[in-house]
Amino acid sequence: MPHLFSHIMVRVDQDVPNWILDEFGRFTLKSARIFFLEPGVPCGWGKFIWSSNIPHSKTLVLWKVFHGRLPTDKNIQNKGLHICFMCTLCEKHEESIHHLFFECPNALYIWSWVRQIFPTSHFSNNDDLLSFIKHNGSPLLKLIKLVVITFSIWMLWHVRNNARFRDKIEVSRTISVIKDLTCLVGKSSKASIKNDMMDFNVIKFFGINNRASKVLRPLPVRWELPSPGWVKINIDGGC
């Protein structure tokens, strides 16, 4: 047996612990966790979806959708648990994140309603959702867009869970719930709007109080006769 250890060099000096991942050379659970973690790729959308106006429990569902981490049947099966994966809402397709939120008839029903408010929007994948959220607009309009997307995703997941575990189908009331929650968040927010027709139409649709940043006074634009003794010369305003 001694010959098995003959190649090992034994130091005479006293052993000193040295952990290169700690600035003091000490081993900690935190430094070990950092050592085993793979370096992540920073996402550019993280700062756009979190808002103090929206409950984090609702935003967390949206965050999991973007990361592909929701426990749908497809994701559970990919982890090695063999189950029958079928969409609980439509019962026509395997339940994946993409199907549940972008292809299922119930999801298409909600996105078609959103397009009635924002006609130029499209919702077929995560990139469309991010583009819609990040689109330029007044502070209140951007918040409303984020609220609509967040609560739409959360309601779809909520309805799916109720159908799966409580045998309750509540698709018919999803839009009214999304509208009421958006109105509640909009009224509690201090964000301002622009004097823009799009902003006014959106806040009117959701029943949010008008909080324009500046009210413009209407000016008369009709032609009037000049005062006695005066001559009025009319010219093209573009000249």
How confident is the model at residue 152, as a pLDDT?
96
Q: How many residues does the chain have?
A: 239
Output the six-digit token pair for 209: 């109080």
Cβ count within 10 A of residue 127: 10
- 230 assigned to some structural domain: no
How confident is the model at residue 193, as a pLDDT?
83
- 93 assigned to some structural domain: yes
Which helix H or strand E contains 151, and what residues bound it? helix 139-165
- 124 assigned to some structural domain: yes
Residue 157 lies in domain? 46-206
- 180 assigned to some structural domain: yes
The mean pLDDT of 104-126, rounded to a whole number, is: 93
Number of domains in the chain: 1
The mean pLDDT of 169-176, rounded to a whole number, is: 82
Q: Dihedral sign for Cα 184, 154, 120, 179, please.
A: negative
Cβ count within 10 A of residue 63: 19
How confident is the model at residue 13, as a pLDDT?
74
Q: What is the mean pLDDT of the chain?
A: 84
- The pLDDT of residue 31 is above 70: yes
Cβ count within 10 A of residue 151: 26
Q: Are 39 and 52 in contact (CB under 8 A)?
A: no
- 137 assigned to some structural domain: yes
The mean pLDDT of 143-151, rounded to a whole number, is: 96
**Minimal CA–CA distance to 189: which of 211, 214, 213, 215?**
211
**CB-based contacts of 118, cutoff 8 Å, min separation 6:** 132, 145, 202
Q: pLDDT over 90 for what percent of the chain? A: 44
How confident is the model at residue 57, as a pLDDT?
94
pLDDT digits (tens, 9 = 90+) for 205-233: 999 875 555 555 556 667 788 888 888 88
- 10 assigned to some structural domain: no
More confident residue, 33 or 59: 59
More confident residue, 74 or 135: 74
More confident residue, 53 or 33: 53
- CA–CA gap between residue 112 and residue 123 (Å, rounded): 9
Flag the least confident range among 121-130, 173-182, 212-221: 212-221
**CB-based contacts of 156, cutoff 8 Å, min separation 6:** 100, 101, 104, 106, 107, 110, 174
- 171 assigned to some structural domain: yes
The mean pLDDT of 96-123, rounded to a whole number, is: 94
- 113 assigned to some structural domain: yes
